[in-house]
């Protein structure tokens, strides 16, 4: 079932356009990874850095993905989030890693970190995701 849900999730137009690939570990931790940096990922004022809006978008993807996966592919949406931008990311592959930390019925609490391949954390976030 997880493979089917991942295939449908990764086929979404927005994930294809942004170059995000979602994977999941056996423990349910979801990773939203950008392996190929494209011009629309870069900060217009500093082409050597990933744009903060892109970082926030990948973070939100990793926020909602664990809930989508645990519900077997049902529609889910972020209803509340708090994001802390800690550091800028260089124009290199990076990922957001999201994990469910709590659940009450159709509401999931999720924590996320955005990091580059060296493990440097550029952003953290927490949020509430609802099954719709």
For the stretch 63-96, pLDDT in tens is 999 999 999 999 999 999 999 999 999 999 999 9
> How far is the C-alpha of 38 from the C-alpha of 41, rounded, in Å?
5
- Looking at residue 46, its pLDDT comes to 81
Phi, psi angles (nearest 5°) of residue 117: -70, -10
- Looking at residue 2, its pLDDT comes to 84
Q: What pLDDT, in 10s, does the model give residues 27-72?
A: 999 999 999 999 999 998 788 999 999 999 999 999 999 999 999 9
pTM: 0.94
> How far is the C-alpha of 48 from the C-alpha of 45, rounded, in Å?
9
Q: How far apart are the first and last CA of the chain?
A: 19
User: What's CA 129's distance to the chain center, in Å?
Assistant: 13
């Amino acid at each position: 079932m997880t493979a089917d849900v991942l295939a449908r999730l990764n086929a979404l137009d927005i994930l294809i356009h942004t170059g995000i690939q979602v994977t999941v570990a056996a423990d349910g931790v979801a990773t939203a990874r950008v392996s190929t940096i494209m011009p629309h990922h870069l900060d217009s004022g500093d082409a050597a850095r990933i744009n903060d809006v892109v970082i926030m978008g990948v973070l939100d993807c990793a926020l909602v993905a664990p809930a989508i996966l645990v519900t077997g592919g049902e529609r889910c949406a972020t209803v509340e989030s708090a994001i802390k931008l800690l550091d800028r990311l260089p124009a290199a592959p990076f990922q957001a890693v999201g994990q469910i930390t709590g659940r009450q019925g159709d509401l999931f609490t999720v924590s996320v970190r955005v990091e580059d391949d060296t493990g440097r954390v550029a952003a953290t976030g927490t949020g509430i995701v609802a099954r719709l």
